A and B are shown apart, each in its own frame.
Chain A
C-alpha cells in the first residue's frame, strides 16, 4: 500500500515513470519513516493519556479520586510523569552487562512498535497489509520476550533475573493458546492478512466473528486473556510482581530507559485491544456500509470515509481498553503455578476445542443458512446473558450498601463516574 502510494506521488509530482526513475526507493524510504513517526506519535498520544484514564478509573474503584491536580482534572498528569522520568539520573549498575542493559529497553519497545506495521486503523489506513499479517504480529511479539529476558539477566540482580525468567516462561506458554485462539479467526476468514480478516466480517454485530458461532465466542475471551497475559498486565504481572520481586525485570532501570518499558507496556494495551477488535469485533467496518464504498470513494469523500472508519475502530478498541483496565483493578495476581495451570490445563485444551469446533462448523454449516443464523443467535444470546448477569450483580452490589451509607453518613451514596470530584 505504501509502495503504490510512493509510486503515485512520484508520478504526480515529478511526472516520471516510477519504475525507471532511479530514486523511487528514496521516496519509499521517506514514506516509511514518516509512517513510523506517525505510529510513534499515536503510541505516545495513546500511552500517555491512558495512564491518566486508568488511574482515574482505578481511583474510583478504590473509593479514591485519582490524579486531578495537574491541568484541568489532571489531564496533564502523564506529561508531568514523563518529564520527571526525563530528569532522573540514568543509572547503570556497575556489575551489569553494560551493552545488554542499555539495549534491552529498545528491544522491548521495538517489539511493540513493530506490531503497528500490520495493525489497521481504518479502511485504508494501514502501514503494510501483509499477506501473513497475523503471523507477523505473533512473531514480532517474540522480540519482547528477548528484550525482557535480556533486561532481567543483564541487570545482575536476583529480582530482575527472576522477573526475566518468569516472563519468558509466561510468554512462551501463553503464545500457544493465543495463537490457537487467533487460528479460529484465520480459519473463519480464510486469510492471515489483517485487512482480509476485517473484510471477512461486517459492520453489524451479528456479522462479527465474535458472534459467528459459540466456538469463536469462547475463542475471543481466550485470545483476549492470553494477550493480557503476554503483555504482563495484572492479573498476569508475575514478571513485575511488585509484592514479591520489587519490580521484576526492570528493578534496576531508571529515567528514560525505565520510561521505554512503561511506554511499551501502555502502548501494548492498544495493541491488545486493536488486535481483539480487528480479529473479533469487525475492526473498522461501519455498520451498513460495505468496504467497497469505503475504498471506492474519491477526494474528500475518501477522506471522510477513512476518518469515519477510524473513529469506529477507535471506539471498539477503546471499549476493549476499558475492559482490560477494569480487569486489572478487579483481579488479584495469580501465583506462578496457577498461571501455568490456567494456561496448560484450561486455555490450551479449550483453544484446541475451539479450533476443532470452528473447523467442523465451517464444513458442516452453510454460510447464511438457518443453522448459521441459529449459531449467531445463540452466541449473541450468551453475550446478552453475561451482560445481564453483570449488570444485575453490579446493581445488587451497589444496593447492598446504599441504605447503610445514607444512614451512617447522611449523604447519598450515588456518585456516578462522570461526576468528577
Chain B
C-alpha cells in the first residue's frame, strides 16, 4: 500500500529531522562574539601573513625612502634631514591609513624590514586626521644599513599601541601583555644576540 508507506515514511523522516535539530542544540555554536566575548583577541588569532595596519620600527629604518616611492597612492610621507653630528635624522614618518589600501608594496622592497603589516585593524577615530599615524615624535637618527641583522624587530603590533589614538578603548579581552621593546644596543657586535629570522614574526597561537 503506497498510502500507508507514505504515512510511515513521513512520520519517520519527521522524527529523523527532529533528532538532527535536537542533536545540534548539544553542539558547540560556531559564532565568535566579536569583540567582547572572545577567548582570545582577534588580532592574535589572525594568520601571520595578515595585512593589517602598517607599522614602522624606527630603530630599523635606514631612511632610504623606498617605501614612499613604491606606494601607489602616496600615503606614506617620510622626511630625512641632516643633523648636527653629520648623520641623518628621520624627522617625519607619517602613514595615512585612511588612504592605505593594504597592498603590501611598501614592505616588499624595505631593505631592513622596518615597515611591515601588523595584525591590528581596529583604528576607528572620530576625526579623519587621527587616521594619519605619526611614527616620529622627535627626530631620530636613521639606522645603519645592517641594523636588521643585529636588532630584533619589536613584536607585531606593539608599536601601534602608542601611535593609534584611542588604542584599546574597545571592549574586549585585554591586549596581550607586550614584551618590552629592547633598547638599541650600543655595541651591537658584542651584546646583541644572533637575530633569528623567525623571531620577527610571532606565531599566533590558534
Contact = CB atoms under 8 A, between A and B. Distances in A.
Interface of A: 57, 59-65, 326-327, 329-331, 345-346, 350, 386, 389-390, 392-398, 401, 405, 409-417, 421
Contact of A60 (B3, B24, B33): B24
B7 A346 contact: yes
- Lowest 5 A-B CB distances belong to which pairs? A393-B19, A397-B23, A415-B28, A398-B23, A394-B19
Contacts, number: 87
B127 interface: no
A326 B18 CA distance: 7
B174 interface: no
A393 B13 CA distance: 11
Contacts of A65: 29, 31, 33
A412 B19 CA distance: 20
Contact of A393 (B16, B26, B28): B16
B48 interface: no
A64 B26 CA distance: 12
B137 interface: no
B20 A330 contact: yes
Given A59-B29, A329-B21, A414-B28, 6 more contacts: A64-B29, A327-B18, A390-B15, A393-B20, A409-B28, A416-B26
A416 B26 CA distance: 4
B25 A60 contact: yes
B15 A397 contact: no
Nearest to A409: B28
Given A386-B15, A393-B19, A415 B31 contact: no
Given A346-B6, A346-B7, A415 B18 contact: no
B17 to A, nearest CB: 4
Nearest to A59: B29
B22 interface: yes
Contacts of B18: 326-327, 330, 390
A59 B30 CA distance: 11
Given A329-B21, A330-B20, A397-B20, A63 B27 contact: yes
Interface string B22-44: 11111111110100010000000
Nearest to A327: B18
Contacts of A57: 25
